[in-house]
Amino acid sequence: MSDLALEIRDLRVAYGGIVAVKGISLDVGRGEIVTLIGANGAGKTSTLKSIVGLVPPISGTIRLFGRDLRGVPTHRIVADGVALVPEGRAVFSSMSVRENLELGSFLKREKAGREARLERCVRLFPRLGERLAQEAGTLSGGEQQMLAIARALMGDPKLILLDEPSLGLAPKLVAQIFESILEIAKSGITILLVEQNTRLALETAERAYVLVTGEVALQGSAAELREDPRIRAAYLGEDPAA
Ligand SMILES: Nc1ncnc2c1ncn2[C@@H]1O[C@H](COP(=O)(O)OP(=O)(O)O)[C@@H](O)[C@H]1O
Ligand SMILES: [Mg+2]
Query: What does the pLDDT look like over 22-57, one tens digit per residue?
Result: 999 999 999 999 999 999 999 999 999 999 999 999
Nearest CA to ligand 1 atom 24: 41
Q: What is the pLDDT of residues 178-210, one digit of tens each?
A: 999 999 999 999 999 999 899 999 999 999 999
pTM: 0.94
Q: 20: CA distance to ligand 1 center in Å? A: 6
Nearest CA to ligand 1 atom 16: 43
> Residue 139 — pLDDT band, cuts 50, 70, 90?
very high
Is the CB of 41 inside a 6 Å radius of any atom of ligand 1?
yes
For residue 221, the Cα-to-chain-centroid distance in whole angstroms is: 18
- DSSP one-letter code for 170: -
> Which of 45, 46, 58, 215 best tests ligand 1's pocket when mutated (most atoms within 8 Å of CB)?
46
Tell me where in the chain the CATH 3.40.50.300 domain(s) lie: 1-81+160-242
Give the SS3 label for residue 1: coil
Q: What percent of the chain has a predicted confidence (pLDDT) above 70?
A: 95
Least confident of 27-31, 66-70, 92-96, 101-105: 101-105
The yes-or-no verdict on residue 107 having pLDDT over 70 is no
Residue 157 and residue 163: Cα distance in Å, rounded?
16
Total Cβ atoms within 10 A of residue 10: 13
Residue 149 and residue 84: Cα distance in Å, rounded?
9
All residues with CB under 5 Å from ion ligand 2: 44-45
Which CATH number applies to 1-81+160-242?
Answer: 3.40.50.300
